[in-house]
Structure 1
Amino acid sequence: MRKAYIVTVALFALAFSLASASDPAPLQDFCVALKDYSDSKSAVFVNGKFCKDPKLVKAEDFFFEGLNNAGNTDNKVGSNVTTVNVDTLPGLNTLGISLARIDFAPYGENPPHTHPLGTEILVVVEGTLFVGFVTSNTENRLFTKTLNKGDVFVFPVGLIHFQLNVGKTKAIAISGLSSQNAGVITIADAVFGSNPPINPDVLTKAFQLDKNVVEELQKEFGDHNY
């Protein structure tokens, strides 16, 4: 009996952890996010957004156009992410899913980053990408793969990952994310480009770098020019 009780508790804890690791499930057909909060007096606040009156919802609330257009990759890293989340497609509110198009210049990179709120599944539409992710600090194990057109790769929620175009031509990928707004933390930007800057002494010790190098990196990333 005690063993069965322990197993039951363990399964309940697992189910709870899985449920709490993703967006809350909707309790209605849809809950279109309001863009104009001036109408919020008669609206319901759900999952970080005010919901539009269902009687006023239109097909356009579930529609996004332009994902066929290439993003501008003329920047320091040679990539561009076009995000389709709850902020650009209000009908995604409470549905726990979003989308992104990633364009890469030749040898362009989507730098190491994390999505704290969602798992990412990526499919290569054009070109060849070298991708990978690193596990948590217990092992810091690196998983990498070279992907060609039509290949798919998954990046588990919250783990640091990257994509690099290893071809001489442009590359395109489409990503699906298990959150209406998975969030993104680009590691170099967050560490060296924070506002206000992190004390250089902290980063000098953390990265085992000369303080002058840290300060130069903070100058480089602090301008946010890309």
Structure 2
Amino acid sequence: MMKGAHCPTAAAFALLALATFHLVSAFDPSPLQDFCVALNTTNTDISAVFVNGRFCKDPKMVTPEDFFFSGLRMRGNTSNPLGSIVTQANVQQIAGLNTLGVSLARIDYALGGLNPPHIHPRATEVLMVMEGTLYVGFVTSNDNGNRLFSKVLYKGDVFVFPFAQIHFQLNIGKVNAIAISSFSSQFPGVTTIANAVFGSNPSINPDVLTTAFQVDKNVVQYLQNQFWYDNN
């Protein structure tokens, strides 16, 4: 080959290497500040920093209390139709979680208590049983055949609910149960399936649900007239 001539093989290799580097080096950018403690205000001062839907508190005014929450140490009141209660520890309770992409929750279950089928639209969940015995599971999307993955968990066991998949927990033990969940979002959100379908505001047209669930309209109207408890 003449000196200075273009080498197609070398050029192709260089492009492949560049593309590979681009793929393997893709990651979330490093934070440009230590923290962005959420400031619950509608202040539109041009000097305020607005990050992830919230204003940042002046770092000089931040205190340890901005990173602290004691609510998970207390047992929740499970005297409700579901026999369970979720105590959240997200950015609404801990302002210092803002922009950090993590949060927690405590779930208390009475005997037979159920955390009903629901999804977290913005997070994957990792649940650890602290006390008792739980039957847990999640259902995959239509793409994966709506498969059920379920397991009985005992104290110390851990189970993962993938991002935005329908999942549940039921206390099948002989004592009250407690679990701690961690989420890959500062504010994972929750959509309880029964509440959303039968308790929407305004109500979904019964004809839609009659066809969707292949049941008599009276059944749909009965379900829409029920009180759907929110345990969050």
With the length of structure 2 as denominator, give the TM-score of the two structures: 0.86
Q: Could you tell me how far 1:126 is from its partner in structure 2?
A: 0.3
% identical aligned pairs: 63
Which structure has the greater CA radius of gyration? 2
Aligned with residue 165 of structure 1, among 155, 158, 171 = 171
Q: Gaps (5+ residues) in structure 1? A: none
Moved more, 28-37 or 111-120: 28-37
Does the CA contact (< 8 Å) of 1:117 and 1:157 recur in 2?
Answer: yes
CA offsets 1:69-121 (integer angstroms, 9 cap, x no match): 11111111110000000011000000000000000010000000001111000
2:12 is equivalent to residue 32 of structure 1: no
SS at match of 1:213: helix
2:142 is equivalent to residue 137 of structure 1: yes
CA distance in 2, matches of 1:141, 1:114: 16
The 5-angstrom pairing of residues 1-80 of structure 1 reads 1=12, 5=16, 8=19, 12=23, 26-38=31-43, 42-80=47-85
CA distance in 1, matches of 2:152, 2:220: 32
CA distance in 2, matches of 1:160, 1:195: 21
Does the CA contact (< 8 Å) of 2:129 and 2:158 recur in 1?
Answer: yes
Q: Could you tell me how far 1:39 is from its partner in structure 2?
A: 7.6
Number of the residue aligned with 1:209: 215
Q: Could you tell me how far 1:171 is from its partner in structure 2?
A: 0.3
Pair 209,26 (structure 1): closer, same or farther in 2 beyond 3 Å: farther
**What is the aligned length?**
218
Q: Gaps (5+ residues) in structure 2? A: 1-11
Number of the residue aligned with 1:155: 161
CA distance in 2, matches of 1:7, 1:76: 58
Pair 40,153 (structure 1): closer, same or farther in 2 beyond 3 Å: farther
Does the CA contact (< 8 Å) of 1:188 and 1:221 recur in 2?
Answer: no
With the length of structure 1 as denominator, give the TM-score of the two structures: 0.88
CA distance in 2, matches of 1:183, 1:215: 28
The 5-angstrom pairing of residues 83-122 of structure 1 reads 83-122=88-127
Q: Could you tell me how far 1:221 is from its partner in structure 2?
A: 3.9
Number of the residue aligned with 2:182: 176
